[in-house]
């Protein structure tokens, strides 16, 4: 450990396995709460909402990046990994926030972005100044161009956000960026890059951080030996561990080294990989105990509200987690996708903007096509199912208020680089789920802060405000609070057993302690055979589970 400030973890939070079945709430700091009226959420803003988080009943928070950043990609362009963006506060503010969360029994997970830095990072600035062939350039991926004068990019590869994955610098060389132009990819063959991230992990661990979420964990290592393949060749290659850019087997050497650092701490620091890989088997490698330990399972996030899809995803992932020894994770919403209340409220497959985007926008806004009530009913049913599953549940800020995606953001107010570069994976971009939270039904920015928020909030936010919902027992917020409180009783052994229901649109399972979860994906009520219904995602249920509803049943006392 370094001799920096070391914050002790309170004894009652030292359980090393705390993460296995935790409910983790994702905070997108710039859109959570603004304490100083500059329109951007900040760390003191989070501190001011610790009571809210404690009352919600979550076990941990995961903070998306709060580091110094020019916000070319919502903070995922990090200019300094070991500091707080001055617009969001100071390291002292961070320490105060961690202390307050720990005092309420809430663990803290921070985001690590190792695939790329911001172009404003000192290393990249040094690389630009140092020129071709320098050690500084070797920390990134620089190549000569092709064509006359090297004025064509080295390959025809396309970045995730659209457009070429190469950008030319003043002296004529090109650098590689998987994401935005402002996010140059690091060269993970460089020993200094490896050493520096170990220092970053220790820096935050020493400050009391309990775990890490690893951004695009599957892309760090690359095989860029010449000749480089074309885009078509790249796309045709299997992602079996030897692909030049994605999910390479050698990335796990890095995580084995990180694991040794995590295990220097008591309790060991945890990590969860964001790894969009081809199969659950490949995902399990990231979740192994000598690697990061856990990996996001995004299967439900791309599934329809459909019993058969849910059942096979659940079974397959539970089987995989038994193989890896990790616990599985469940996610329905995060800062990169359309909120699940909206996905389930739009017609056709998933309602994902990638499929629906053009029509959705050109129809003049969501009201034309979006079934708000139905979408939320299905979302709450899916959430209650998710919270009843073995493993950890990741929730995204605002879903506890039943927020829908915000579609009504004018092009000039949008911020997502994918929107401007014509991203293929999301035409509308991701701003609609990143709009600052409504805390009160009125006020300059619905209680987010004293100024207008950095992304525009729609008028309908008033009815979803936290203060309105807190005093309404029938609100989504009250429902989440009840579910999260009861979840501690339900989450014992990490297994479930399916109970056949005789209906293709109804799923039912029992946990080792006798708690049952029944989800009716259909519209006809499903008769229940006794048991004490302790919670319903919809209308009160006793004798039957209404359509598009999940109920929890406790064993008879």
Catalytic residue numbers, as ranges:
215, 264
Q: Among residues 42 and 416, whose Cβ is nearest to ligand GLC?
A: 416
Question: What does the block give as tokens for 116?
Answer: 């790329």
Evaluate the CA torsion angle 310, 298, 399, 515 in order and state its sign. Answer: positive
Q: 242 φ, ψ to 5°?
A: -120, 5
Q: How far apart are the C-alpha atoms of 375 and 479, rounded to whole Å?
A: 16
Q: How many CB atoms lie within 10 A of CB 86?
A: 9
Do the Cβ atoms of 370 and 334 come closer than 8 Å? no
**In this chain, which of 47, 113, 245, 272 binds ligand GLC, going by CB under 6 A?**
113
**In this chain, which of 215, 400, 494, 548 binds ligand GLC, going by CB under 6 A?**
215
Within residues 251-280, the interface with ligand GLC by CB under 6 A covers: 274
What's the closest the beta carbon of residue 548 comes to ligand GLC, in angstroms? 29
Q: Among residues 167 and 274, whose Cβ is nearest to ligand GLC?
A: 274
Question: What does the block give as tokens for 225?
Answer: 């030996």
What's the closest the beta carbon of residue 270 comes to ligand GLC, in angstroms? 18
Within residues 336-355, the interface with ligand GLC by CB under 6 A covers: 336
What's the closest the beta carbon of residue 448 comes to ligand GLC, in angstroms? 21
Q: Among residues 93 and 182, whose Cβ is nearest to ligand GLC?
A: 182
What's the closest the beta carbon of residue 23 comes to ligand GLC, in angstroms? 20
Do the Cβ atoms of 531 and 316 come closer than 8 Å? no
Do the Cβ atoms of 400 and 376 come closer than 8 Å? no
What letter would DSSP give residue 137?
Answer: G
* 119 lies in the site for ligand GLC, by CB under 6 A: no
> How many residues at the interface with ligand GLC, by CB under 6 A?
9
Strand, helix or coil at 12?
Answer: helix
**In this chain, which of 62, 76, 255, 396 binds ligand GLC, going by CB under 6 A?**
76
User: CA angle, corner 283, sides to 515 and 300, nearest 5?
Assistant: 50
**In this chain, which of 63, 72, 128, 216 binds ligand GLC, going by CB under 6 A?**
216
Q: How many CB atoms lie within 10 A of CB 352?
A: 20
What's the closest the beta carbon of residue 544 comes to ligand GLC, in angstroms? 40
The label of the residue with tokens 């060749």 reads 233
Do the Cβ atoms of 31 and 397 come closer than 8 Å? yes
Q: How far apart are the C-alpha atoms of 106 and 411, rounded to whole Å?
A: 38
Q: Among residues 109 and 216, whose Cβ is nearest to ligand GLC?
A: 216
**In this chain, which of 34, 42, 59, 73 binds ligand GLC, going by CB under 6 A?**
73
What letter would DSSP give residue 508?
Answer: E
What's the closest the beta carbon of residue 64 comes to ligand GLC, in angstroms? 8
Spatial strand order in the sheet of 392-396: 293-295, 270-273, 211-214, 107-112, 60-63, 23-27, 392-396, 329-331
What's the closest the beta carbon of residue 298 comes to ligand GLC, in angstroms? 10
Q: Among residues 271 and 496, whose Cβ is nearest to ligand GLC?
A: 271
Q: 139 φ, ψ to 5°?
A: -75, -15
Q: Among residues 216 and 385, whose Cβ is nearest to ligand GLC?
A: 216
Q: Among residues 267 and 398, whose Cβ is nearest to ligand GLC?
A: 398
Residue nearest to ligand GLC (CB): 76
Give the contact letters, 148-187, x = binds to ligand GLC (CB under 6 A), - = no.
-------------------------------x--------
Q: How far apart are the C-alpha atoms of 204 and 220, rounded to whole Å?
A: 21
Footprint on this chain of ligand GLC (rule: CB under 6 A) = 73, 76, 113, 179, 215-216, 274, 335-336
């Amino acid at each position: 450990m370094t001799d920096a400030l070391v914050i002790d973890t309170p004894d009652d939070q030292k359980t090393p396995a705390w993460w296995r079945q935790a409910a983790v709430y994702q905070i997108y700091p710039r859109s959570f709460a603004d304490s100083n009226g500059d329109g951007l959420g900040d760390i003191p803003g989070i501190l001011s909402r610790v009571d809210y988080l404690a009352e919600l009943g979550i076990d941990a928070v995961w903070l998306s990046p709060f580091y110094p950043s020019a916000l070319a990609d919502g903070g995922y362009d990090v200019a300094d990994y070991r500091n707080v963006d001055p617009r969001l506060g100071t390291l002292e503010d961070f320490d105060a926030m961690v202390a307050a969360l720990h005092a309420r029994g809430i663990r803290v997970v921070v985001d690590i972005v190792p695939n790329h830095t911001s172009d404003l990072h000192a290393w990249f600035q040094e690389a630009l100044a140092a020129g071709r062939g320098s050690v500084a350039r070797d920390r990134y991926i620089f190549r000569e161009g092709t064509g006359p004068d090297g004025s064509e990019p080295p390959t025809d590869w396309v970045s995730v956000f659209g457009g070429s994955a190469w950008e030319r610098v003043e002296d004529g060389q090109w650098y590689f960026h998987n994401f935005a132009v402002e996010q140059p990819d690091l060269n993970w063959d460089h020993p200094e890059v490896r050493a520096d991230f170990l220092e970053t992990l220790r820096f935050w661990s020493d400050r009391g951080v309990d775990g890490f979420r690893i951004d695009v964990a599957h892309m760090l290592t690359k095989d860029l030996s010449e000749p480089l393949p074309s885009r078509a060749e790249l796309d045709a290659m299997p992602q079996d561990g030897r692909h030049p850019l994605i999910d390479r087997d050698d990335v796990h050497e890095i995580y084995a080294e990180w694991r040794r650092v995590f295990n220097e701490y008591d309790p060991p620091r945890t990590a969860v990989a964001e790894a969009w890989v081809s199969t659950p088997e490949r995902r399990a490698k990231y979740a192994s105990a000598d690697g990061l330990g856990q990996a996001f399972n995004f299967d439900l996030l791309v599934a329809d509200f459909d019993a058969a899809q849910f059942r096979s995803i659940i079974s397959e992932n539970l089987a995989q987690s038994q193989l890896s020894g990790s616990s599985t994770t469940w996610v329905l919403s995060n800062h990169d996708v359309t909120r699940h209340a909206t996905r389930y409220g739009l017609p056709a497959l998933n309602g994902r903007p990638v499929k629906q985007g053009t029509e959705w926008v050109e129809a003049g806004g969501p009201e034309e096509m979006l079934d708000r009530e139905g979408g939320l009913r299905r979302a709450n049913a899916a959430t209650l199912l998710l919270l009843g599953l073995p493993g950890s549940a990741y929730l995204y800020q605002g879903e506890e208020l039943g927020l829908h995606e915000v579609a009504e953001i004018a092009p000039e107010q949008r911020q997502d680089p994918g929107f401007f570069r014509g991203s293929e994976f999301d035409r509308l971009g991701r701003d609609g789920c990143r709009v600052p939270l409504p805390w009160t039904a009125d006020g300059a920015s619905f209680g987010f802060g004293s100024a207008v928020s950095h992304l525009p909030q729609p008028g309908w936010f008033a009815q979803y405000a936290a203060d309105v919902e807190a005093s309404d027992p029938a609100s989504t917020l009250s429902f989440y609070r009840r579910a999260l409180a009861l979840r501690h009783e339900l989450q014992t052994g990490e297994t479930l057993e399916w109970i056949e229901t005789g209906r293709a649109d109804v799923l039912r399972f029992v946990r080792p302690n006798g708690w049952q979860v029944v989800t009716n994906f259909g519209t006809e009520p499903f008769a229940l055979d006794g048991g004490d219904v302790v919670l319903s995602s919809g209308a009160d249920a006793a004798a039957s589970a209404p359509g598009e509803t999940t109920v929890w049943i406790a064993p008879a006392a």
